[in-house]
Structure 1
Amino acid sequence: MLTTRPRGTNDVLPGEVEKWQYLEELARKICREYGYEEIRTPIFEHTELFHRGVGETTDIVEKEMYTFTDRGDRSITLRPEATAAIVRAYVENKLYALPQPVKLFLIGPMFRYDRPQAGRFRQFHQFDVEVFGSDSPAIDAEVIAMAMDIYERIGLKDLELHINSVGCPECRPVLRKKLQEHFQPHLENLCPNCKGRFERNPLRILDCKNEQCQEMGRHAPTTLDALCPECDSHFERVKGYLDAVGVRYIVDNRLVRGLDYYTRTAFEIMARDIGAQSSIGGGGRYNGLIEECGGPATPGIGFALGLERILLTAERQGLTFPVTRGPAVFIATVGTGAERQAFQLLQQLRRQGVAAEKDYLGRSLKAQMKYAGKLEARLVIILGEEEVARGVAVVRDMQAGEQQEVSLSELINYINAKG
């Protein structure tokens, strides 16, 4: 039907959109404090970018991407995540020539063909942060601390930060061999996806959601069992920085995240009571991704927070946001002779930065006052032909229930003084 939205999508209506605006502005404010600059990338990219950047063996690439062929016979994909797109922009626009590290953030919609459920949609929105050009454990800790800082300022409680190290190209082959030795006797019992991953990337088996695969992987070797000295030292220093700023965490040696590009630090933030998908954000380091996408060898790390999941968690925890709806001023008129004066005043107020509204349906004064109440206007200016002739207006404070006459020449100053 043309009157229903596609499955897995949502309309964000007035009354709800203010919560989104509050979250987005809070995120931007925190980014300014941490030195991150905003970037905006296309909603669609060449499909090859996500095959190379996200990983051929990921669920995203294998099952979830919205991919189509355009009129130029090019394979195009709606972005399923932001990191690969931001990396592409970093390489294409030669941002590696800027002073390093380069710290960027993006807020926008992503698309995955997934089974809709609580906190998971086919079009969803993420706040994404990326840092390019530093391999310091302190940057890892900063990124993690920033994510937790955002949640804390929103007011979310009872969150769990899980961290792990997934190694590097030097120690991954050791883990690969250990995992293949573990899963070889159970190969026939793995799900079809994991059978394919056995040769290509057995680490991905640990991230499988199939219960039988999870059971067979319960006693499998973990990433921490195979870390090289450099990765082990890096992880210890990350933990030390987090300890220094009081960020509490759980070392989760089974955490591998859902994307192939991660190296070393990986982390995920969990919330209770939002359904089967308890993650509300996460990220990690990806030191080989920029090179894989055609750029110079450059270390990188980042995270993505799901806005829908944040809002769902906030709702479940009974949080309210300090959002303001409705105009500050509503202009009510009595008689047609005051309409022109009211319209002029309306525009003057708006040009002064005052949110203002008036009636456009020819309602009675009583109906206009009722309408102003529904709009949650703080002040109502009542203009009639008599008031216009005397050069005054009646200003009613809707919260205090008081009103007084104010000269039209002093009206804007009076309203500004009211705040």
Structure 2
Amino acid sequence: MTSLQVTRGTRDILAPEIYYWQQLESAARQVLTQAAYTEIRTPIFEATELFARGIGEATDIVGKEMYTFNDRGDRSLTLRPEGTAGVARSYIENKLFAQGGVQRLWYKGAMFRYERPQAGRQRQFHQLGIEVIGSADPRADAEAIAIASDFLQAVGLTDLVVDINSVGSSEDRVAYRAALVEYFTPFIEEIDADSRDRLTRNPLRILDSKDKRTQEISQDAPSILDYLSSESQQHFEQVQNLLTDLQISYRINPRLVRGLDYYTRTAFEIQSNQLGAQSAVCGGGRYDRLIAELGGADVPAVGWAIGLERLVILMQQVAEQKQAAIDFYVISRGEQAEAKSLSIAQTLRKVGFTVELDLSGAKFDKQFKRASNANAKAAVVIGDSEIEAGQVQIKWLESGDQEAVAIAELSDSFEALRQKL
């Protein structure tokens, strides 16, 4: 009998990874509750029309990636590919506007897109998101970005930078779309096939292409910032001023358009430089026309979403990076050596080193393996022969170099040792 396995693009989440999920879920609830956001839970599947109208039929999500099926009543249903459209539908259907004021909502759950599975990107994936519905104030944009930054820092990410842009109002984009069509048309044979298709349907999406040649061509494309109305320009400047006041680092990126049709004015991504290579960890923006497009009132809104699979990978990498802070791993074997090992570990700790003492009593090769797994920079090796000689062996694990240091001179040798770490 063939063994049953998870479907391609889905995966089980087990220990120890599950602890990172629990950590981020706890941090999200704490940060968002403190900011007066209320949790909302919407269905995993909705009427296909919701996403076609809300996300946009010209997007890759609607055109290529949705899991759509007909139920027994011949109704077309779709597993949700993102969270905002469902929240907007719930806002209209449940008349949340009747409560008055601004609605601050947050959600967390599984989403579904038919994509090529890769690390941090599955066909069933999870998002955390917020929606601020009922305010056109630039402070709502800045608050959303600040809340995302607070959450990301709460789970251990630092060195965050915000890329921001304004995609203007729908009126601003009329002239801009025409300018993009005019610019890209001479390159019709050089841009990728998806971009050729977008040229007449949604030329802004060409700026979001991952094709290398299309990206090169896009570098000299007209900038949306040159087509903003005075009102849109003022809104964008106020968002920037608020981020400056909050001491949130940002960069203006006129090529940032995001992948969904419903965005208006502010669009942003948050990047983390913590691990050396820049990585987008959050994306969002303003969508002032979405609720009206879905049949509701003309209500402005802003929000963001974070892909949790990618975030968990970053959290794990940060944890591994922290583990690398162990300077010395003390290895001992033999009665006299083990008796002396704690004293040697304490001596090194008192002069400022991070030291882990192996307490297993296992053979040297197993202790060395643990030192390597702990990402220690060096092993302090003590056997009975070292005790008799009054010294320890220090083995630098990356290079394999080894040197003897007198036990009585460990404290005096710490500066020389520190320079080698």
Please indicate, yes or no, whether the TM-score normalized by the shorter chain is above 0.5: yes
- What are the superposed Cα offsets for residues 156-190 of structure 1, whole Å, 9 maximum, x if unpaired? 12333111111101211121111111011112333
Alignment partner, residue 344 of structure 1: none
Q: Counterpart amino acid of 2:42? A: T
Cα distance in 2, alignment partners of residues 298 and 319 from structure 1: 45
SS in 1 for 2:171: coil
SS in 2 for 1:130: strand
Alignment partner, residue 278 of structure 1: 279
Cα distance in 2, alignment partners of residues 27 and 204 from structure 1: 31
Alignment partner, residue 300 of structure 1: 301
Alignment partner, residue 49 of structure 1: 50
Alignment partner, residue 238 of structure 2: 237
SS in 1 for 2:170: coil
Q: Report deviation, 1:272.
A: 5.1
Distance 1:275 1:39, change over 3 A: farther
Residue 20 of structure 2 contacts residue 316 of structure 2 at CA under 8 Å; is this kept in 1?
Answer: no
Q: Which runs of 4+ in 1 moved over 6 A?
A: 273-277
Alignment partner, residue 113 of structure 1: 114
Q: 1:152 and 2:162 equivalent? A: no
Distance 1:10 1:274, change over 3 A: farther
SS in 2 for 1:308: helix
Q: Counterpart amino acid of 2:100? A: P
Q: Report deviation, 1:86.
A: 0.4
Q: Counterpart amino acid of 1:52? A: R
Alignment partner, residue 357 of structure 2: none
What percent identity do the matched residue pairs reach?
Answer: 52
Q: Counterpart amino acid of 1:165? A: S
Cα distance in 2, alignment partners of residues 249 and 164 from structure 1: 10
Cα distance in 2, alignment partners of residues 275 and 259 from structure 1: 29
Distance 1:83 1:275, change over 3 A: farther
Q: Counterpart amino acid of 1:265? A: T
Distance 1:275 1:43, change over 3 A: farther
Alignment of 1:241-280 (within 5 A): 241-271=242-272, 278-280=279-281
Cα distance in 1, alignment partners of residues 252 and 11 from structure 2: 35
Q: Counterpart amino acid of 2:222? A: P
Q: Report deviation, 1:120.
A: 1.0
Alignment partner, residue 92 of structure 2: 91
Cα distance in 1, alignment partners of residues 166 and 185 from structure 2: 24
Alignment of 1:29-40 (within 5 A): 29-40=30-41
Cα distance in 2, alignment partners of residues 166 and 262 from structure 1: 7
Cα distance in 2, alignment partners of residues 121 and 192 from structure 1: 24
Q: Report deviation, 1:149.
A: 0.7
Q: Report deviation, 1:54.
A: 0.6
When the two structures are superposed, what TM-score results if normalisation uses the length of structure 1? 0.73
Cα distance in 2, alignment partners of residues 178 and 15 from structure 1: 52
Q: Counterpart amino acid of 1:183? A: F
Cα distance in 2, alignment partners of residues 89 and 264 from structure 1: 23
SS in 2 for 1:144: helix
Q: Counterpart amino acid of 1:169? A: S
Q: Report deviation, 1:209.
A: 1.4
- What are the superposed Cα offsets for residues 53-110 of structure 1, whole Å, 9 maximum, x if unpaired? 0111111111111111111111111100000010000011111111221110001011
Q: 1:201 and 2:202 equivalent? A: yes
Q: 1:62 and 2:69 equivalent? A: no
Q: 1:140 and 2:136 equivalent? A: no
Cα distance in 2, alignment partners of residues 238 and 25 from structure 1: 29
Residue 273 of structure 1 contacts residue 313 of structure 1 at CA under 8 Å; is this kept in 2?
Answer: no
Q: Counterpart amino acid of 2:168? A: G
Alignment partner, residue 78 of structure 1: 79
Cα distance in 2, alignment partners of residues 158 and 6 from structure 1: 36
Q: Report deviation, 1:319.
A: 5.9
Cα distance in 1, alignment partners of residues 137 and 125 from structure 2: 31
Cα distance in 2, alignment partners of residues 286 and 31 from structure 1: 21
Cα distance in 1, alignment partners of residues 313 and 275 from structure 2: 7
Residue 157 of structure 2 contacts residue 274 of structure 2 at CA under 8 Å; is this kept in 1?
Answer: no
Q: CA RMSD in A?
A: 1.9
Q: Which runs of 5+ in 1 are unaligned?
A: 322-419
Q: Report deviation, 1:238.
A: 0.4
Cα distance in 2, alignment partners of residues 21 and 36 from structure 1: 19
Q: 1:164 and 2:162 equivalent? A: no
Q: Counterpart amino acid of 1:309? A: R
Distance 1:280 1:180, change over 3 A: same
When the two structures are superposed, what TM-score results if normalisation uses the length of structure 2? 0.73
Cα distance in 1, alignment partners of residues 34 and 81 from structure 2: 28
Alignment partner, residue 369 of structure 1: none
Bigger CA drift: 88-97 or 185-194? 185-194
Distance 1:117 1:275, change over 3 A: farther
Residue 169 of structure 2 contacts residue 264 of structure 2 at CA under 8 Å; is this kept in 1?
Answer: yes
Q: Counterpart amino acid of 2:224? A: T
Q: Counterpart amino acid of 1:88? A: R
SS in 2 for 1:11: coil
Residue 120 of structure 1 contacts residue 277 of structure 1 at CA under 8 Å; is this kept in 2?
Answer: no
Q: Report deviation, 1:16.
A: 2.4
Cα distance in 1, alignment partners of residues 3 and 101 from structure 2: 49
SS in 2 for 1:173: helix
Alignment partner, residue 289 of structure 1: 290
Residue 23 of structure 2 contacts residue 155 of structure 2 at CA under 8 Å; is this kept in 1?
Answer: no
Cα distance in 1, alignment partners of residues 278 and 85 from structure 2: 23
Cα distance in 1, alignment partners of residues 277 and 112 from structure 2: 19
- What are the superposed Cα offsets for residues 3-47 of structure 1, whole Å, 9 maximum, x if unpaired? 211122121113322321221121011111111100000000111
- What are the superposed Cα offsets for residues 202-255 of structure 1, whole Å, 9 maximum, x if unpaired? 111111112222222121012112111111000000011111111111111110
Alignment of 1:391-410 (within 5 A): none
SS in 2 for 1:104: strand
Bigger CA drift: 72-81 or 270-279? 270-279
SS in 2 for 1:188: coil
Residue 118 of structure 1 contacts residue 274 of structure 1 at CA under 8 Å; is this kept in 2?
Answer: no
Residue 162 of structure 1 contacts residue 268 of structure 1 at CA under 8 Å; is this kept in 2?
Answer: yes
